[in-house]
Amino acid sequence: MKVICERAALLEAVNQVSSVVASRSPRPQLTCIKFSASKSAEGDELVLSGTDAEIALTVRIGRVDVVEEGSSLVLADKLRQIVSAEDNENTLTIETNADMTHIKGEDAHFTLHGFDPNDFPVIADYKTLAEGSAAASPAKTMYSTDAGILDSLITRTLFAAARENSRYAINGVLMVRDGKKLEMVATDGRRLAKSAVTIASSGEAAQCIIPSKALSMLQKLTADENEPVHIAITDNQAVFAFGDEPTDSRAVLTTNLVEGTFPPYEDVIPRDLDIKVTFNRDTLASAVKRAALLTNEESRGVRMAFTGGDKSLMLSSRAPEMGEATINVDLADYDGADIEIGFNPAFITDALKVINDPQIMIELKAPNKPGLFKAGGDFLYVVMPVNLS
């Protein structure tokens, strides 16, 4: 194989594919990136592939000159370091000889030991997963949306997903497609975030749990918010193809699904809340951030005292041997009885960071009942209170 690449495009692709490659593995091929160079009537193409056996990513580069077709398998970390370091080069030449890969610039020549590319795992493409094969059933549901919409759904839910929880099913994000409605839900047992959108086409209802790592990787691929993303869900995998045509995509991410049953999230969303507070997002964000300055591991809660008479909110915090803080905020609107309730300030701040709407509503019931944050008509956030006594 011999191919001449535009360095900037190569570096972007290497960085993307490296993020799914295993950092350590008893199978050294999983710590590598596979190069596949080909020529066709449509033009020359270089394909980079990587996988950790759970998630796989394939990225295509079109701005290349393929001198000789072929493939190679190169250690991902050293490849990334070399391409990054050659920052004075406009192009780089990649050439293989048996299991050796040569990377050449104008004044540099790097030789990397690699592996037989035939030992790299086979990565199923979008067409195979969508249409099925002799060994697997076709996808349960297929649909498309814009990259920006997918990115928004992930942003507004992923932050609430559990991190290495023993309840394995909540270590990912639930994705539900029902007709033209597409929603994502995440929870760590103390809070729950739900975001929904309407997509162009209706289809078979299906739901699955996407691993958090795969969702983070998808966000790195959403450079153009208007780019179509084609999604297919099978019994145990999901595939996301970026580009106008799913079978000729700029990038394809395939991931195994999280096993297990997601909690019945609709039962967690409170329905009978009779206190409704409307506030400015930025004003509340500033107040919570300042009140959180005097909290610590032992007293991490912020007390929020809502008063309906003058439509005000007083936030207070106290940390032993440190001090205390009091912040006063005017509310846009208030309906209901006065109430004092405590929340973890980090949980509130996390949600306010991902909300675009300037006004937010919070609904409450009692000091020992969860609070419900609402933004627009497509975002819900449930937060359990903390005991401040």
In the chain, the percentage of residues whose pLDDT exceeds 90 is 84
Give the SS3 label for residue 235. coil
For the chain, the domains span 2-119, 126-264, 269-383
DSSP, res 309 = T
Residue 269: predicted pLDDT: 95
Residue 384, exposed/middle/buried by CB under 10 A (0-12, 13-18, 19+)?
middle
Pick the CATH number of 269-383 from 3.30.300.30, 3.40.50.1220, 3.10.150.10, 3.40.50.150: 3.10.150.10
Structure tokens at 227: 């780019």
Whole-angstrom distance, CA of residue 342 vs CA of residue 304? 6
DSSP, res 317 = E
Sorting pLDDT into bands at 50, 70 and 90, what band is 165? low
Backbone phi, then psi, for 285, in 5-degree steps? -60, -45
Residue 108: predicted pLDDT: 95
Residue 166: predicted pLDDT: 65
Task: Tell me whether the CATH fold assigned to 126-264 matches the one assigned to 269-383.
Answer: yes
Query: Domain 126-264, what fold?
Result: DNA Polymerase III; Chain A, domain 2 (3.10.150)
Whole-angstrom distance, CA of residue 18 vs CA of residue 360? 39
Which sign does the torsion angle of CA 212, 214, 218, 219 carry?
A: positive
Give the SS3 label for residue 297. coil
Whole-angstrom distance, CA of residue 28 vs CA of residue 165? 28
Query: For 309, how many CA atoms within 13 A lie in the half-sphere containing its CB?
Result: 1
pTM, two decimals, is 0.93
- pLDDT for 196-217, tens place per residue? 999 988 878 899 999 999 999 9
Q: Enumerate the H helices of the chain as residue ranges.
A: 7-18, 76-85, 126-131, 147-158, 212-221, 265-268, 281-291, 345-354
DSSP, res 31 = G
Sorting pLDDT into bands at 50, 70 and 90, what band is 57? very high
- pLDDT for 238-263, tens place per residue? 999 999 998 889 999 999 999 999 99
- pLDDT for 225-243, tens place per residue? 999 999 999 999 999 999 9
CATH 2.40.110.10 fits 2-119, yes or no: no
Residues paired with residue 36 on neighbouring β-strands, in sequence order: 47, 71
Give the SS3 label for residue 43. coil
- pLDDT for 330-348, tens place per residue? 999 999 999 999 999 999 9
Query: For 225, how many CA atoms within 13 A lie in the half-sphere containing its CB?
Result: 5
Give the SS3 label for residue 85. helix
Residue 168: predicted pLDDT: 80
